[in-house]
A and B are shown apart, each in its own frame.
Chain A
């Protein structure tokens, strides 16, 4: 765009002077500026901000852009579009996250194991073959009405 090359993101800063220049470029304090580790992933010198979603930002402060709770010139998180208020929410939960996860996994695994066992070893009341009346539905099955139907008894005394 129209901005000069030194205002745009660049490669990973190696010397402290490059770090200071990058911090100034991103409108951060030199102590606050922490680039992503240089693992070759393509981050360059972009600052690593805390992974907090926009739900946690003060809703009552007069932001320049109130819907995304962002001020003009403030460095945006790399995953800014993930942390908007329609998407991922990292606000503190009433119960710690690992407790919730543990309870959920215990419940889910119990239910899955019980359903699995129920499929392998089904258990139901004893059933027998279905018994039809009228001599096993002789006439309905197209039996000759003039002939004597075979007698079918479903019981033994």
Chain B
């Protein structure tokens, strides 16, 4: 969670560098706004005003993951824990449960649930 405005030191920092940074960000934002408004109020508007930020976001999350993936110790460890771990764990659990049931049936001690007899 973020800090409330009264406790966040960034709200109290109004140095000239911060002001210039804010001015530059405002300039970028104004340029983008202008581009968008020009397209929006166009007398012959295009069929769809595509947002390059949205396209980039979707591309980065879907098609740019595989080319930029690299097997490092951290990624291999996490992959083993989250991908291979559950499979092995549940295989072991089911096998152990089945073995226990088989042993009980062989000994004749297993009470069949939902039995019609």
Contact = CB atoms under 8 A, between A and B. Distances in A.
Nearest to B51: A72
B36 A76 contact: no
Nearest to A94: B4
Interface in B58-107: 59-61, 64-72, 74-75
Contacts of A46: 56, 60, 64
Nearest to B72: A40
Contact of B33 (A7, A9, A56, A71): A71
> Do most interface residues of chain B lie in helix, strand or loop, or is the interface mixed?
helix
Size category of the binding interface on chain A = 35 or more
Which among B36, B56, B71 has the highest number of chain A CB atoms within 10 Å? B56
Nearest to A2: B50
B25 interface: yes
Contacts of A143: none
Contacts of B68: 11-12, 40, 42-44
A35 B42 CA distance: 35
Interface string A68-110: 0011111110101000000000111100010000000000000
A44 B64 contact: yes
A31 B21 contact: yes
A81 B28 CA distance: 24
A78 B61 contact: yes
B74 to A, nearest CB: 6
A135 interface: no
B19 interface: no
B47 interface: no
A123 interface: no
Contact of B53 (A39, A72, A78, A93): A72
A90 B55 CA distance: 25
Given A52-B2, A90-B2, A9 B56 contact: yes
5 contacts: A39-B75, A42-B65, A71-B29, A71-B33, A72-B53
Given A31-B21, A41-B75, A72-B32, 7 more contacts: A1-B55, A40-B69, A40-B71, A40-B75, A71-B29, A71-B33, A76-B57
